[in-house]
Amino acid sequence: MISEFELLAEKVATLAELAHSLRRENADLRRDAATLTAENLDMQQRMQQAHERVAALLAQLPGEENTDKEAA
């Protein structure tokens, strides 16, 4: 009977350790996800700025009107 209780106590302790480990891992993953979300937003903004700069440069190129008319 005592060995059954000891076995159960070991299983409960193992389960508690696993739960604690999973909580830590979950916190780490949430932190990583928040970091990646912020990086993604920054990259989207940088891509938008680059797109706007390229569009502005293309608008300044001579003969753009001719290219548009030929494409139509």
pLDDT average, residue stretch 2-24? 96
pLDDT score for 72: 53
pLDDT for the residue 70: 56
pLDDT of residue 63: 80
> Whole-model pTM?
0.63
Give ∠ CA 59-62-65 in degrees, rounded to 5.
70
Separation CA 71–CA 51 (nearest Å): 21
- Each domain of the chain, given as residue ranges in start order, spans 2-58
Cα torsion angle, 55, 61, 63, 67, sign: negative
Dihedral class, residue 56 (left if φ above 0, else alpha if ψ from -120 to 50, else beta) = alpha
**Structure confidence at residue 67 (pLDDT):** 55
Q: Is the pLDDT of residue 66 over 70?
A: no
Please calculate the CA angle 67-68-72 and round it to the nearest 5 degrees: 115
